[in-house]
Structure 1
Amino acid sequence: MTTLLIKNATLKGQEGLQQILIEDGQFKRIEDNNVELDYTGDTLDAEGGMAVAPFCEPHIHLDTTQTAGEPSWNISGTLFEGIERWAERKEMLSIEDVKSRAKQTLKWQIANGVQHVRTHVDVSDPTLIALKAMIEVREEMKEWVDIQIVAFPQEGILSYPNGKELLEEAVQLGADVIGAIPHFEFTREYGIESLHYVFELAQKYDRLIDVHCDEIDDEQSRFVETLAALAHKFNMGHKVTASHTTAMGSYNGAYASRLFRLLRMSGINFVANPLVNIHLQGRFDDYPKRRGVTRVKEMLNANINVCFGHDDVFDPWYPLGTANMLQVLHMGLHVCQVMGYDQINNSLDLISTNSARTLNIQDKHGIEAGKPGSLLILPAENGFDAVRRQVPVRYSVRHGKVIAETQPATTHIHLGQQEQVTYKR
């Protein structure tokens, strides 16, 4: 394992410059820069940059990534045309096709400081091609990124032929997390039954749960209450995630107040996907038009764990994206109106610490002695500065080894004389 000493770093909550020693792939010591260490190995100069825990991607679909425009573009930009375009592209799937596209986006993620990824993979397919491909990718990329695979029943569990059997087969093949999509099932009763089945499987195979939940503008879509109630009943909240929950933005205040009590009691996690939610939701509205993002600000105020994900990158549902979590964060802060100074300064947690808790990896995430020696160096004074200037990841260190670095760009203007622009005041 690699040893590395990082000098001249800043750490949240610490005064002055710090040095961080990684030995045998783990954080060994974190000391003031002036402390003399008996060390003669490799060093890395953070140049006053901010050391933070690696970014996590808690929600992405790597089986569909890099397919935008293949074979044709989603002209309307709607969810429904995206489904039509994907149906066309799905006919071309092969193991190598899925692997090559997933690896390309994973490389983008690694370059952007992501070291932990949870990908949803469509298992509404008797061949389970995408799942088998992602299981291979998980193994082949494990040196550089940790991947959790969600068995995602895109077309429902009860509403798709042999949906239950396919979901269990996916778990047996190696899926880490069990998914569901209750609001897409044919009936409300099917949706409720699908959630009960998911908890049954999760307990049988000791798996996590991550549900596409209430991703619709229908204020009557309230499957999150059943998800939270089951998590509370079985004491599994820390292992359960509700993704999207966009319908929550349409709930009336009285119901939402009652719901939040249950959400706090259950301890479940939430993922909002601001780039895609703001793009796809509200399509049936004239004006006023819904923002289409769940109640992130209220969750933060209620100490409910919530984080941000991409959902899609360069695919039929979302044609943009470079897998940069700071872009996700930037959009989320605006849409959710989380724009106070302290809120912005602490907002990196929404793509790091909170995400790690959602992935249930908090015990091995963070810059603390004894934990895996993985971190990022951001060329920023603090979280506020990093978000405002959308800084690149200067270095991504994994288990003491640099796996990505970005050379800072230099911009000059020529207004009679050359002047460097840093976007600082």
Structure 2
Amino acid sequence: MLIRNVHIENDASATDVRIENSVFTCIAPFMEPHEHETVIDGAGALLLPPFVDSHVHLDTTLTAGQPEWNETGTLFDGIRIWSERKQTLSREDVLTRAEAAITMMAGNGIQFIRTHVDVTDPGLTALQALLELKEKVRDVADIQIVAFPQEGILSYPRGQALMMEAIRLGADAVGAIPHFEFNRDYGVESLKFIMDLAEQHGLLVDVHCDEIDDPSSRNLEVLATLAYERDMGPRVTASHTTALGSYNDAYACKLFRLLSMSGMNFVSNPLVNMHLGGRFDTYPKRRGLTRVKELTEAGINVSFGEDDIQDPWSPLGAGNMLDVVHMGVYAAQLMGYTQIKESYRYATHNGAHTLNLGDDYGIAVGRPANCILLDAPNFFDALNTHAVVLTNIREGRIIAQSHSPNTVVSCTF
């Protein structure tokens, strides 16, 4: 396959890209096609590595309104509604909804997904269904599965045993929700428990950490300390950390030193964090977002996730990382021209780092031929126009194609 006349990651100069035997073999301008070679005319479009959704919940996807709508828009009502909905889960139910979500995501250029799966379920129904899905969709997307205790580890009956069973069944990462545990001591103990498990089993860690506006919720310092002391930073992710947006600046300044030392990753979910955050405020009303800009400027890895796709926590969602980045640059005030142009990294390279994808990710000779073609010459224009993902290529195969919409304005002035 030869992809002609594309701008790779905002490069001002157009070039060609050749794919052979599922890998990138040559990147150079003005290459001549081989006999019988498939040729894609990029026509000056943007070529990026595939989008990475580093935080989503495929087990809850497409359940909005079941059994009721979350009219308050709070995290806690979402948990309550899901707790009721998950009583009716079946393997077929989870697979059908998750497959529909994966189809949307593939059409929007997402090839790498980290999904959190609720394991506060005695039958672990959703986990087993998504382990099956992971193998089923391998030709379309790589899925990492986080064993996520939605209702707590120590605060849920047999929470520790269920987490260990999830690991035995094949979860890729362990999670926690320390701010939702009954008390601070349980929160700290839950973090030590999962870090022990991750260390023993060689797993990744991704914690729903301080997803609350409460400035006294300070589990992040505990997680960062554990990551630093155990030298596990790159394998550890703190998701949400919205309380960090409510900490006073003096404490945040002290904390940033530890966060940098830890080497851990952060995931912000701009759509859902903006939706759920500040719900108990009157005015001034907080944004409900972590300190994305400040973390980035400190050299700490931050990636974005969609989090929820039409479920009890968010009634909207289309499996489109452009939606996420668009909200993210506004909410985090990353609106300088260069910041916008480079913001694709929150949904590509930074996400790949969070998922520990290593050298298999990115457009370079010798790497797996995974890439997407967007209908714009650079990411500033792509984000501004919500550009269509024209082609989604995985290991040298086209797995999704779209056509640029052409709107004809017939009125005259």
Same fold by TM-score greater than 0.5: yes
Distance between the aligned counterparts of 1:140 and 1:38, measured in 2? Answer: 33
Displacement of 1:157 after TM fit? 1.0
Q: Are the counterparts in 2 of residues 60 and 311 from structure 1 also a CA contact under 8 Å?
A: yes
Q: Percent identity?
A: 52
Q: Supply the RMSD in Å over aligned alpha carbons.
A: 1.3
Distance between the aligned counterparts of 2:311 and 2:199, measured in 1? Answer: 34
Give CA deviations for 1:242-289 in whole Å, capped at 9, x if unaligned: 000000011111110111011111110000011111111111111111
Kindly provide the amino acid, as one letter, of the partner of residue 142 in structure 2.
D
Partner of 2:24: 27
Partner of 2:70: 74
Kindly provide the amino acid, as one letter, of the partner of residue 18 in structure 2.
L
Question: Is 2:3 aligned against 1:6?
Answer: yes
Distance between the aligned counterparts of 1:212 and 1:16, measured in 2? Answer: 41
DSSP-derived class of the 1:106 partner: helix
Partner of 1:172: 168
Partner of 1:236: 232
Question: Is 2:330 aligned against 1:328?
Answer: no
Out of 354, 368, 373, the residue aligned to residue 350 of structure 2 is 354
Out of 175, 180, 187, the residue aligned to residue 184 of structure 1 is 180
Question: Is 2:283 aligned against 1:312?
Answer: no
Out of 6, 12, 17, the residue aligned to residue 14 of structure 2 is 17
Kindly provide the amino acid, as one letter, of the partner of residue 108 in structure 2.
N
Distance between the aligned counterparts of 2:33 and 2:39, measured in 1? Answer: 12
DSSP-derived class of the 1:193 partner: helix
Displacement of 1:14 after TM fit? 4.1
Gaps of 5+ in 2: none
Distance between the aligned counterparts of 1:79 and 1:298, measured in 2? Answer: 25
Gaps of 5+ in 1: 418-425
Give CA deviations for 1:213-250 in whole Å, capped at 9, x if unaligned: 00011101111111111111111111000000000011
Question: Is 2:121 aligned against 1:142?
Answer: no
Partner of 1:109: 105
Q: Are the counterparts in 2 of residues 396 and 404 from structure 1 also a CA contact under 8 Å?
A: yes
Distance between the aligned counterparts of 1:13 and 1:345, measured in 2? Answer: 8
Give TM-score scaled by structure 2 length: 0.98
Question: Is 2:243 aligned against 1:252?
Answer: no
Kindly provide the amino acid, as one letter, of the partner of residue 299 in structure 2.
N
Kindly provide the amino acid, as one letter, of the partner of residue 123 in structure 2.
T
Distance between the aligned counterparts of 1:44 and 1:382, measured in 2? Answer: 18
Partner of 1:389: 385
Q: Are the counterparts in 2 of residues 353 and 362 from structure 1 also a CA contact under 8 Å?
A: no
Displacement of 1:415 after TM fit? 1.7
Distance between the aligned counterparts of 1:13 and 1:99, measured in 2? Answer: 37
Distance between the aligned counterparts of 1:161 and 1:87, measured in 2? Answer: 14
Partner of 1:280: 276
Question: Is 2:125 aligned against 1:129?
Answer: yes
Displacement of 1:161 after TM fit? 1.4
Displacement of 1:79 after TM fit? 2.1
Which piece of structure 1 moves more, 271-280 or 73-82? 73-82
Displacement of 1:209 after TM fit? 0.2
Distance between the aligned counterparts of 1:42 and 1:215, measured in 2? Answer: 48
Partner of 1:420: none
